[in-house]
Amino acid sequence: MYRQTTLFTLDQIIELQPLTKLQAVLTFIDYSILLQAFQIPPHKRGPKGFTYEHLLNALIAMQLEQIVTIKRLVKRLKTDPVFRITCGFDALGKTPSQATFSRFICRLSNTDVLVKTFQRMIRRANTLGLIDGTYVSIDASKLDAFEHPLPKAKIPQNNPEFPNWGAKNDTNGNMIKWFGWKMHALVDTSSGIPLAYIITPANVADMDIAIPLMEKLKKDYDQLFKPSYYIMDTGYDKPLIYQEAVTNFDAQAIIPLNWRNTKIPPEGINWEGQMVCSMNFPYVYGGNDQGTIRLLCPHVHQKANCPMGSHWCTDAKSGYIGKVKIKDNPRFVSSPMRGTPAWYELYNMRTSVERFFGDGKEHYALNNLRVSGIKKAKVFMDLTCIAIIASKMVKADKTLNHAA
């Protein structure tokens, strides 16, 4: 009895099959910085081990395939030859152990290799026309720590590398608490691609990281991106954020007001944050002249029926016309003005950052950290963001090829 030999090897069979999502994503990963930083000396004797490129492939595949632990990743590589070949390992050769992956993750956590890779891929995505950068959204999301929760009294004070307790309202307004971290992200609203992100203990306030994110975007990309609007939710309503956006970034912050314990609004402002006339009617937007907003009489422009008429303020037929500068009071003076359809249209773009967090947690295992310490947790944030950018490039490439 004779065994019939196959006409094709497993590698050849895989090449004949349509690209899977994992295979497509891995073709867009930039390995140049990794290979340059982790060079193996040519004079080193003995086995060289597994290539760093293939180890990185496996970790990115872990996020894409939502493999929850390194142990399961190792098992998948051993038992699934297609998965093993896709990551770059030999079909019948050895696969990395848990210890190998642990050492690799530890080494990544002590370098900026993944961060630089992420930034290079952002620049490439920009050249492909995927990123607009005019409108960006900022928010934070909870990440549960792998460490066992501790009582507040036993948590080291003023240690930015130790997880802590955090609390915030979910989308339904319910208060949730967790022990771990916060991922603060700045996302391009047109593409949903993260441009900058920072990880902190969960007790750090969202508003405290808004300006560092804006500075990081400016520093990391040498002013490649110059957003006109930074869009955030009501938790970021802090006067300093508005002022910094105008003064240092030549932009505006679009944030709903949080009056907190305010008893009455400031003079000339209503509870919606709109500038009002002496009869408490919101002014009509008259245009923006290089940061100077024209305010028009609401009675003359038929937006209000003032009992005193326009003559209460001026005898001019055009009615009262005022001018205010955005930089003098950017919390209440903006273009477009608060309360207008254009302002709400801008604010609605904020959902892009929520979609990014949802996508990262549901499809890239971002909410499943299985490593201790903030440095290693950031490694998996880097991997997730790199995988998301590569996925966006895959979709763009398919669109371009289909159009061609």
Cis check: omega of the bond before 336, within 30 degrees of 0 = yes
Distance CA 26, CA 193 (A): 17
312 to 270, 295, 300: CA distances (angstroms): 20, 16, 12
What are the structure tokens assigned to 245, written together?
A: 């956006």
350 to 187, 200, 204, 347: CA distances (angstroms): 9, 21, 21, 6
Residues of the chain with pLDDT under 70: 1-19, 41-48, 398-404
Q: What is the reported pLDDT for 18?
A: 47
For every residue of 237-283, DSSP letters joined together read --HHHHHHHHHHHS-EEE-----TT-SSPPTTB-TTS-BB-TTSPBP
Q: What is the reported pLDDT for 15?
A: 52
Distance CA 188, CA 42 (A): 42
What are the structure tokens assigned to 344, written together?
A: 């709400």
Q: What is the reported pLDDT for 403?
A: 47
Closest CA to 365 of 137, 93, 146: 146
In CATH, the architecture of 114-257+349-382 is 2-Layer Sandwich (3.30)
pLDDT per position as a tens digit, 330-381: 999 999 999 899 999 999 999 999 999 999 999 998 888 889 999 999 999 9
Q: What is the reported pLDDT for 39?
A: 81
Domain regions of the chain by residue span: 10-39+48-109, 114-257+349-382, 263-330
Q: Which H or E element spans position 389? A: helix 374-403
Q: What is the reported pLDDT for 47?
A: 54
Q: What is the reported pLDDT for 43?
A: 61
Q: What is the reported pLDDT for 16?
A: 43
